[in-house]
A and B are shown apart, each in its own frame.
Chain A
Amino acid sequence: MAKEVYRFSAGERFVHWCHGVAFLLLLFTGLGVLVTVFQPAMNIFGGIQVTRNIHRVVAVLFTLGMIAGFIGKGVGARQMRRWFKDVINFRNDDLAHAKNFGIEFFGGHKPFPPQGKFNGGEKLNSMFTILGTLCIVISGYIMWLAPSGPSLLLQWAYPIHAACALFMTALLIAHLYLGILHPDSNQALKGIFTGWVPAKFAYEHYEKWYNEEAKETIKG
């Protein structure tokens, strides 16, 4: 008897993977410009000029995909807006979870107050990602489209773009670990593919959300 509850709608899963795949492609093609020794690797896609163009094409698709995910009355879009509102609302209970996060990260456990649909650690990750994505997108379009020449706008876009790319990559490494390698938290992985997560796992990690919403969707 494998009991599961419904966590992510198709729309949320679409935006997550749109973001993830685009991020990796943009990172790979961006590193060809940032790291000189990495430039030969760009031959996989046909050389540095080709990857510079891929960076731009993927950037546009990435931006449109993100925006589309939030627009409209569909379940997915409503859930995306709910996620946004949830994660920017950071309370004491979230802080209490985030404080214990280091222990969980290394495989220990210390009780934390019941969490909503997104726990304190996830909220922090989400907020960094929202801020970083906004900054990298805006600076990226400036680097691409601003009139060429020595302007402050262009000059400041460079360090911002690079900082977002590198620090979000550091964050992504920890995110991949928790989703794939971490023996406990990786049970969430199924959720972002199929939408369903193990029931007791959901209860233990998001007690408030489980009792208020998820319980009703239980199957199996």
Chain B
Amino acid sequence: MARKMVFIDTSLCTGCKACSVACKAWNDLPAEKTQRISSYQTQADFTPNTWTYVRFREEYKDNKMRFNMLKLQCFHCADPACMKACSSNAIYKTETGYTLVDKEKCIGCGYCVANCPWGVPKIDEATNKMSKCTGCIDRVESGIKPACAQTCQPGAIHFGDRDEIMPQAQARVAELQLTNPKAHLYGDNLMGGTTYVYLLQDRPDAYGLPLNPTTPISLTLWKDIVHPLGGIAIGASAAAITVGVIVNFVRGNYANRAKIIAESHDEGGK
């Protein structure tokens, strides 16, 4: 199946939060008590039962206020740090471009939580399993829009084959750039190219997004250097002692042991 893409056009988002409700309805996730975080934001972060929420940032310019609103969920990176970090090979990529977790294999170690540059995965303490947006994989692979896109009234969430959606996204950026030179795409060249791509109207940090999300160097060091090198060190040590036993045997040191031990119990001194 072709690679999919979801394009989120923040210039059309009205901040209605219907996407977060639709996500809960479709994925059978219980509602959680909301609280006022700041501005119109009522959810602080992802939780095991909240896979998408809207972040609000207020920006003031020339006595006018603009909301920077961002519907957040897993980006479904082409080269996901969570997958590299996973201790149990529980995270995998689909051909369609989604990053999914096999709950059978997941042990809840939290390695993915610490290494996702956007802090997406969360551990459900009750089940000891990682939990995050699935991209509505059951819907999208049957050709239906994800629940959040389906419900979006102003049409800010576009879903389709990457080949079709990407040119539309680029055209929309070009259009906006006529009046706002800061308009740009976020995600298309990050983490190998994300499945969820945003149109932002300002710098990423104005939305509370990292400027250069990357796979942590510590993660590469850990998985690509420490693990293999540590394995080699253990192998080399085992090989050295095997040679040690053989050489000692050939030299007759084992045959001599009774004599060595008897003599070593003499008094010390010349």
Contact = CB atoms under 8 A, between A and B. Distances in A.
- Among B122, B237, B238, chain A packs the most CB atoms within 10 A around the CB of B237
Given A148-B110, A158-B114, A107 B268 contact: no
B116 to A, nearest CB: 6
A184 B240 contact: no
- Among B122, B227, B229, B254, chain A packs the most CB atoms within 10 A around the CB of B227
B265 A183 contact: no
B235 to A, nearest CB: 9
A183 B253 contact: yes
B216 A155 contact: yes
B114 A204 contact: no
A69 B251 CA distance: 41
B230 A200 contact: no
Contact of B268 (A155, A159, A176, A215): A215
Interface residues on A, range: 35 or more
B87 interface: yes
Contact of B226 (A149, A159, A182, A215): A159
A127 B122 CA distance: 39
Interface in A1-44: 1-5, 33-34, 36, 39
A48 B119 CA distance: 25
Given A33-B87, A155-B114, A202-B268, A49 B254 contact: no
A54 interface: no
B111 A106 contact: no
A33 B268 CA distance: 49
A80 interface: no
B215 to A, nearest CB: 10
B114 A106 contact: no
Contacts of A204: 264, 268
B247 interface: yes
B241 to A, nearest CB: 4
B109 A33 contact: yes
B256 interface: yes
A137 to B, nearest CB: 18
A154 B233 CA distance: 25
Nearest to A206: B268
Contacts of A34: 87, 227
Contacts of A2: 265
Nearest to A187: B264
B188 to A, nearest CB: 22
B268 A199 contact: yes
Contacts of B119: 149-150
A218 B230 contact: no
A2 B253 CA distance: 21
**Closest CB pairs A-B (n = 4):** A203-B268, A166-B230, A159-B222, A107-B248
